[in-house]
Amino acid sequence: MSPAIVHAKAVPAASELVAIPVTTAEGTPEALEALGLPAAGLAAQGFAGKVDQLAFATRSDGRNVIVIGLGEAKDIDTNGLRRAAARIARASGRVKSVALPLLDAVPELSGNALAEAARAIAEGAGLGAYRFDEFRSAAAKPVLSRIVVVGRGGQKVAEAVAEGAQIAAAQNFARDLVNRPGGSLTPKALAAEAVKIARREKLKITVLGPKEIAERRLGGLLGVNRGSTQEPRFVEMAYEPASPTGTLALVGKGITFDSGGLSIKSGEGMMTMKMDMGGAAAVLGFFAAVRAVAPKCRVVGYMPMTDNMSNGDATRPGDVLTMRDGTTVEVLNTDAEGRLILADALCLASEAKPDAIVDLATLTGAVEVALGSRIAAVLSNDENWRTTVQSAADRSGERMWPLPLPDDYRPFIDSDVADLRNISKSKGGGTMTAGLFLKEFVAAGIPWAHIDIAGTAWWAEGDDAEFSKGGTGYGVRLLLELARTFSPPRR
Ligand code: BES
Ligand code: ZN
Ligand code: ZN
């Protein structure tokens, strides 16, 4: 069980551990002494209140404390508070309860800004406490059962803390899905997770199996699934508030394992390919917290699900697929499968005429070459919508950076035998040519943004604040923020 995360105005007497936020100005020996902290001991550990510094100590009143550095007071923002809370929660694994009076570090905040800070602290606490132990035979039960976000503020702050806790839980759910191996989380099992969420959150859901997928002529999904013994699924989910202010469509790539197909990946290249459903996981994570955030717009999710395998009748390089809208695609590399299943999903999304579309996909290794594993790429057919998506990501603390969709690169995906080919003729720019391919399937006039999360869906380094090894749940928070603030973009 993950710890309960609650708000209190003062540090509860029962808290086993108390976090003490310390800025660099407060990190001097004199200032630490004034806070009742053992200055010499902390100095010996190199603690000076710098960002991310953390140390355990006993305060003069006998309290066990965890000191967390926040850097310069003027630079503290919600992302920094989320980060600090995550570090504390992770470091508090061995106590039953911890109190986080981090709002004290931002005395100037009030109203909405205070509530947002409280929400970010709760998010960080929930994310930092995350463990993935499903496959350990003897996982020690986590001891930490209660995290108290301490600080001024009434009902509004308490509600923000509760909301932050639910957002973190939804993001952790997405991390669980990404971390579950391809042999366990089959397309059928992933669709079953969607059904569970839909029941809990009272959402409309349609799950298409092989027969319905064929009836709807989802040729991309069928073509990718052809090499697998696992059945494909196509999941459509919808959140419908009373009088919606518009419709937002979310599309998520749901490749439960990507072997590359006949254009097979290397052993090394396949090791993390259980994460290739990170886009669908983000969309499902969004729906898992949709009632907590209660957006005023309708939100419809489209998730094509299959693995990409290479049995005796797998799609062969050179095969031509006919997508949902009749476009024919020459498959020259079966490892460029994401765009094939997304093409059908974007057609279906477009047919429903939403006010805007966002897709999330672990689409190209090239995006990690360009931006690394902390920053996603955003590509769009509409500048205005792109900046809206990007600013939601700025607020949620998930980083992204734009790449263009250059018209003169479009001929690189012209085929000699069909309407399109699924890989570029030209070297380089793989994230952009993949984006140009997707763009072909978005109906003209619908603002659309494609977020390539191949780098950001997975974190391979060690624990770092809200990140731990494995699935990151990238996208859950930004989709919730985007829906919460959505109004149909002007065209
Ligand atoms: N799922 C991969 C992309 C990926 C790579 C995700 C690394 C995460 C980490 C995708 O299906 C793929 O294999 N893309 C190919 C496209 C190429 C064949 C044009 C790639 O990026 O190499
Ligand atoms: Zn692939
Ligand atoms: Zn893939």
Asked if 151 and 202 sit in the same domain, the reply is no
Place 140 in a pLDDT band, splitting at 50, 70 and 90: confident
> Hey, what's the torsion of the CAs at 454, 457, 461, 467, to 10 degrees?
150
Average pLDDT, stretch 269-294?
A: 98
Q: What is the CATH number of the domain that holds 102?
A: 3.40.220.10
Between CA 150 and CA 158, with CA 152 as vertex, the angle to 5 degrees is: 70
296-337 residue pLDDT tens: 999 999 999 999 999 999 999 999 999 999 999 999 999 999
CA of 204 to the centre of ligand 1 (A): 32
**pLDDT at residue 1 tops 80:** no
Res. 424: pLDDT tops 90: yes
Q: Please name the residue ranges forming H helices in 139-186.
A: 155-179
> Does 193 lie in the same domain as 111?
no
Per-residue pLDDT, 141: 81
Tell me the average pLDDT across 227-253. 98
What gap in Å lies between CA 476 and CA 287, rounded to an integer? Answer: 9
Same domain, 203 and 132: no
pLDDT tens readout for residues 174-213:
999 999 999 999 999 999 999 999 999 999 999 999 999 9
The reply to whether 58 and 84 lie within a common domain is: yes
Q: Is 430 in the pocket of ligand 1 (CB under 6 A)?
A: yes
Q: Looking at residue 142, what is its pLDDT? A: 82
Residues 326, 374: one domain? yes
Report the distance separating Cα 151 and Cα 168, nearest Å: 20
- For residues 143 and 252, membership in a common domain is answered with no
Asked if the structure places residue 174 within a domain, the reply is no
Residue 490 lies in a domain: no
Residue 130 lies in domain: 4-162
pLDDT of residue 324: 98
pLDDT at res. 223: 98
**Residue 196 neighbours by CB under 8 Å, 6+ apart:** none
Residue 491: inside a domain: no
175 found inside a domain: no
How confident is the model at residue 91, as a pLDDT? 96
Which of 262, 263, 364 should be mutated for ligand 1, with most atoms under 8 A from CB?
364
Ligand 1 site-directed mutation target among 262, 307, 309, 335, most atoms within 8 Å of CB: 335
Q: Evaluate whether residue 288 is within a structural domain.
A: yes
Q: Ligand 1 in contact with 331 (CB < 6 A)?
A: no
Q: For the chain, first and last CA: distance in Å?
A: 46
Per-residue model confidence as pLDDT tens digits over 383-400: 999 999 999 999 999 999
Q: Which letter does DSSP use for residue 232 in this model?
A: P
Residues 194/234, Cβ–Cβ less than 8 Å: no
Can you say how many angstroms the Cα of residue 331 is from the centroid of all Cα atoms in its chain? 29
Domain containing 379 — which CATH number? 3.40.630.10
Q: Are residues 140 and 217 in the same domain?
A: no
What is the distance between the alpha carbons of residues 7 and 363, in angstroms, rounded to a whole number? 40
pLDDT recorded at residue 392: 98
Q: Which of 162, 188, 217 is the last residue of a domain?
A: 162
338 CB near ligand 1 (under 6 Å): yes
55 domain-assigned: yes
Instruction: Write down which residue in 162, 188, 205 finishes a domain.
Output: 162
- The structure tokens listed for 163 are 């909301």
Place of tokens 């765009």: 339
What is the pLDDT at residue 228?
98
Ligand 1, atom 8: nearest CA belongs to which residue?
454
Same domain, 157 and 222: no
Establish whether 233 is a catalytic residue. Answer: no
- Identify the band that residue 25 occupies on the pLDDT scale cut at 50, 70 and 90: very high
Distance in Å, CA 59 to ligand 3 centroid: 52
Please state the separation of Cα 155 from the chain's center in Å: 28
Ligand at shortest distance from the CA of 253: 3
Q: Structure pTM?
A: 0.98
pLDDT band at 358 (very low <50, low <70, confident <90, very high): very high
Residues 210 and 93 in one domain: no
Is any ligand 1 atom within 6 A of the Cβ of residue 456? no
Alpha carbon distances (Å) from 316 to 338, 363, 378:
16, 20, 31
How many H helices and E strands in the chain?
16, 20
Among protein residues, the one with the nearest Cα to ligand 1's atom 13 is 335
Predicted local confidence at residue 154, as pLDDT: 94
Q: How far is the CA of 254 from the centre of ligand 3 (A)?
A: 9
Q: Which of 63, 217, 265, 296 is catalytic?
A: 265
**Co-location of 129 and 263 in the same domain:** no
Tens-place pLDDT, residues 75-127: 999 999 999 999 999 999 999 999 999 999 999 999 999 999 999 999 999 99
pLDDT of residue 155: 97
Do residue 477 and residue 411 come from a single domain?
yes
Of 97, 131, 162, the position where a domain reaches its end is 162
One domain for residues 147 and 240: no
What is the number of structural domains in the chain? 2
pLDDT at 474 (0 to 100): 98
Percent of the chain with pLDDT over 70: 100
CB atoms within 10 A of CB 62: 7
In a domain, 151, yes or no: yes
Q: Chain-wide mean pLDDT for the chain?
A: 97
Q: Is the CB of residue 123 below 6 angstroms from any atom belonging to ligand 1?
A: no
Give the length of the chain.
491
Q: Is residue 44 part of a domain?
A: yes
